[in-house]
DNA sequence: CGAGTTATTGATCGCGATCAACATGGGTGG
DNA sequence: CCACCCATGTTGATCGCGATCAATAACTCG
């Protein structure tokens, strides 16, 4: 079974610009004007790959030649567990950069694979240099993005630590709900959800069997529905309460940020 | 009990430059010449704070006005667990930057506290801007550092996930051993170790009682000694084997990196 | 010397892992 | 088109690691 969602290609009816999700994300850090959005689209459109379910974007041990940005679909970063199971350490949604460290590491410490089919833009070193030179605001927003990703990674470290199973799963769902909301991919509490129960288990540090039981419990409580690769949150307050979810770890309030308040160590 | 180690101030006999550890770390990314080291020292020396055990560098919910760099001693990033226990998500050793996101977040999502006494340099926004302008190589190395920290954070996410207790603790020790080696703070397998068993538990997602039992086991096997705030690794191969530790997640092989190989999205 | 934190050991409990069986459903090849 | 295969989902039964509860020792600091 390939799990490629039938409508992955047409989720936005091909009407949305190629970098819509990326622009939406970066916009939370620094508002982009029409010209900048167009430039971003042009950069992202240069080198687009379509990947099927489980296809590797980047393999552990290899030195990448480009950084990858998810345009459509999901991807996950993982290490192999030796027993065929994966230890998922991060999930990448539309608009996310998978590997900020691409040009730093001599070899990737983990692999990244598509989940349920994805479209990914690759940006090589010279293109990125060009982007940094011509579009400083965009490259600055990318720097902020890397710090936001670090905050999410810390939240995962907390979540995967010693907690009961149900809060773990609920927290994952809350985070995904929140992150997808930021790029306009949640409608009426309903979102495309390509993860299998095995994937959820690998991301939460649980067994698939127990994830199944947790889901049963969440369904019985009327908190959510999960079927046919779609997740619907029926009771968001119950969900966030179960999860102990506090979205304040997303450093996104850039809208209120004044220029004088701008960060440093950024491309000039 | 304050746990301030008696010789924290004189570990290097006050002979080493103030930013020795920082320079050692950054040197792994981009070799610094004498002038750059001097400039770094000057910047770090402008605003140094001395903190006692458990003193907060930065408190959750507050917007920081400066980034903090550990000069001596250790610090930890944590969230309060509601029950007086802490969930430690990161440890900061001499040379580490605690909060790259300081100028990005409207409010810190976690607190950072000294462990066993520490000396910390604060760099405010204008100073950091000045550094970026006058010392591009240093600020570039800081950008790499932030990516290296992200790799460590991912390793923690893996370690804290579903693994047996002993490997968890062993992995933490291996990582600390490795990181301290990088700044020249391990001698003959022996290192200053200010963490209590409670701290180890909070960092590994275990209970202090069980950490105690794991330590007992590691001591019985002759793998390590841990007493009087000093850790000695007697059998490093056994240790790394127990831990399943693979240091390749540290992106440090910059020595072999050619200029043409330099990363992008960096300050010009 | 008393108070509080840390370290240590024993006894018991329970959550989630593990083992096992079966259902389902889509994809593939005859 | 049907038969088969294999990944995924579901449920039950049992086991064990690490949590929890409890008591004591050692040690630091006021």
For the cut 80, the answer to whether the pLDDT of residue B122 exceeds it is yes
Please report the pLDDT score of residue A253 as a whole number: 54
Please report the pLDDT score of residue B15 as a whole number: 58
- Tell me the mean pLDDT in the region B49-72: 95
Q: Which chain A positions have a beta carbon within 8 Å of B256's beta carbon?
A: 106
In terms of C-beta density within 10 A (0-12 exposed, 13-18 middle, 19 or more buried), how is residue A127 classed? middle
Q: Which of B109, B162, B263 minimises the CB distance to A205? A: B162
CB < 7 A to strand C: residues 33-92, chain B: none
Q: Count the alpha carbons within 13 Å of B31 in the hemisphere toward its beta carbon.
A: 8
Q: Which of A107, A153, A264 minimises the CB distance to B154? A: A153
B235/chain A closest Cα distance in angstroms: 24
d(CA A146, CA A142): 6
Contact B249 A109 (CB under 8 A): yes
Please report the pLDDT score of residue A258 as a whole number: 36
Residues of chain A with pLDDT under 50: 1-2, 4-13, 254-268
Bigger pLDDT: B7 vs B66: B66
In terms of C-beta density within 10 A (0-12 exposed, 13-18 middle, 19 or more buried), how is residue B175 classed? buried
Helix (H) or strand (E) holding A113: strand A111-124
pLDDT above 90 coverage of chain B, percent? 78
Give the residue from A68, A60, A51 showing the smallest Cα distance to A3: A51
The whole-number Å distance from A229's CA to C26's C1' is: 14
B196 Cβ within 7 A of any nucleic strand D atom: no
d(CA A26, CA A94): 12
A67 Cβ within 7 A of any nucleic strand C atom: no
For the cut 80, the answer to whether the pLDDT of residue B156 exceeds it is yes
Name the least confident of A136-150, A183-197, B105-119, B252-266. B252-266
Please report the pLDDT score of residue B267 as a whole number: 28
Pick among A78, A123, A158 to test the B interface (most B CBs inside 10 A): A158
Q: Facing residues of B51 across strands? A: B118
B6 Cβ within 7 A of any nucleic strand D atom: no
pLDDT tens digits for range B29-41: 889 999 999 999 9
């Amino acid at each position: 079974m390939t799990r490629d969602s039938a409508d992955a290609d047409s989720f936005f009816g091909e009407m949305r610009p190629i970098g819509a999700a990326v622009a939406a994300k970066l916009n939370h850090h620094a508002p982009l004007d029409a010209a900048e959005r167009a430039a971003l689209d042009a950069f992202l459109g240069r080198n687009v790959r379509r990947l099927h379910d489980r296809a590797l974007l980047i393999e552990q041990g290899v030195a990448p030649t480009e950084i990858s940005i998810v345009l459509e679909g999901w991807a996950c970063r993982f290490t192999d567990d030796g027993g065929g199971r994966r230890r998922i350490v991060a999930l990448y949604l539309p608009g996310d950069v998978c590997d900020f460290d691409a040009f730093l590491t001599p070899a990737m410490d983990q692999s990244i694979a598509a989940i349920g089919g994805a479209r990914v833009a690759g940006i090589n070193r010279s293109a990125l240099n060009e982007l940094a030179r011509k579009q400083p605001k965009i490259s600055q927003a990318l720097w902020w993005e890397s710090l936001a990703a670090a905050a999410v990674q810390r939240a995962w470290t907390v979540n995967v630590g010693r907690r009961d199973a149900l809060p773990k799963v609920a927290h994952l769902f809350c985070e995904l709900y929140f992150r997808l909301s930021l790029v306009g991919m949640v409608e009426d509490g309903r979102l495309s959800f390509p993860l299998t129960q095995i994937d959820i288990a690998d991301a939460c540090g649980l067994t698939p069997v127990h994830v199944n039981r947790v889901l049963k419990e969440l369904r019985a409580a009327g908190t959510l529905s999960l079927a046919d690769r779609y997740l619907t949150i029926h009771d968001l307050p119950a969900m966030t309460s179960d999860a102990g979810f506090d979205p304040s770890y997303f450093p996104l309030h850039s809208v209120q940020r004044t220029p004088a308040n701008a960060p440093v160590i950024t491309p000039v």
